[in-house]
Amino acid sequence: QKEVEQDPGPLSVPEGAIVSLNCTYSNSAFQYFMWYRQYSRKGPELLMYTYSSGNKEDGRFTAQVDKSSKYISLFIRDSQPSDSATYLCAMSPGGYQKVTFGTGTKLQVIP
Amino acid sequence: DADVTQTPRNRITKTGKRIMLECSQTKGHDRMYWYRQDPGLGLRLIYYSFDVKDINKGEISDGYSVSRQAQAKFSLSLESAIPNQTALYFCATSDLTSGTNNEQFFGPGTRLTVL
């Protein structure tokens, strides 16, 4: 079993839809939870960052962490064609520990 | 100007050839990483370095070697390339003192094809 599981998609939604992206994990030591966005032919870039459990909102994006269920989510409201990308979850115990990435979910928002 | 640069951006080579991928950064970060990305497998860590004198193996280091020539430069070598090393390679940097602990900044990637 992988430490981090992520549905690869692809996920196709109409413009304006609410998108839900999810990851599950098995390592209870993870404390830092991140979502990266990767456009085609580009490197990943950090989109959202959360420490421990709870919610974090940034514009149309909301990240949720439920450590009791070992489950994290990224919600995108009013999705736009420019949101079309691959979204990778990532997590780490922190400090000198390495970051473990999910395999990524490819999202396409159709105008 | 890009903070993390990788050269070359694309490379086609033949089985058995030695290949070097180079990474440079202007972010002043101590930590540097090499990943490979494959469809369905995501990003997998090859090697990482926390400073010039520190080199560590990642989860898939076999067949690869690295050199940290300076704080800003981290090179990845394939001593004898094989077809299953065909992948997208990313260099990344991070800084423990940054507010978002463990945030990594990625380069644009090198697409390597081994025939």
Which residues are CB-neighbours of A52 under 8 A, at least 6 positions away?
A: A31, A65, A67
Q: Reply yes or no: is the peptide bond before residue A10 cis, omega within 30 of 0.
A: yes
Q: How many CB atoms lie within 10 A of CB A74?
A: 24
Which regions in chain B score pLDDT beneath 70? 1-2, 97-101
User: Is-contact A48 A65, C-beta < 8 A?
Assistant: no
Helix/strand/coil (H/E/C) assignment for every residue in B40-80: CCEEEEEEEEEECCEEEECCCCCCEEEEEEECCEEEEEECC
3-state secondary structure of A81: helix
Predicted confidence (pLDDT) per residue in A12-60, tens digit: 999 999 999 999 999 999 999 999 999 998 999 999 988 888 899 999 9
Nearest-CA distance from A43 to chain B in Å?
Answer: 5
**Alpha-carbon span B73 to A71, nearest angstrom:** 36
pLDDT of residue A7: 84
CB A18 within 8 A of CB A77: yes
pLDDT in tens, A46-104: 999 888 888 999 999 999 999 999 999 999 999 999 999 999 999 998 776 788 999 99
- Cβ separation of A88 and B43 shorter than 8 Å? yes
Instruction: Answer yes or no: are the C-beta atoms of A3 and A25 closer than 8 Å.
Output: yes
Which pLDDT score is estimated for A9? 82
The two three-digit tokens of residue B110, written as one number: 């090198």
Most A CBs within 10 Å, among B7, B21, B104, to test the A interface:
B104
The Cα–Cα gap between A51 and A60 comes to 19
**pLDDT tens by residue, B54-69:** 999 999 999 999 999 9
**Which percentage of chain A shows pLDDT scores above 70?**
98
For the stretch B94-110, pLDDT in tens is: 887 655 557 889 999 99
Q: Is the preceding omega at residue B108 within 30 degrees of 0, hence cis? A: no
Helix (H) or strand (E) holding B9: none
Whether residues A49 and B100 touch (CB distance < 8 A) is answered with yes
Write out the two tokens for B64: 């690869």
Check residue B8 and give its pLDDT: 97
Chain A: residue whose CA lies nearest to B30: A96
Chain A contact probe: residue of B102, B103, B105 with most A CBs at under 10 A: B102
User: DSSP 3-state assignment of A43?
Assistant: coil
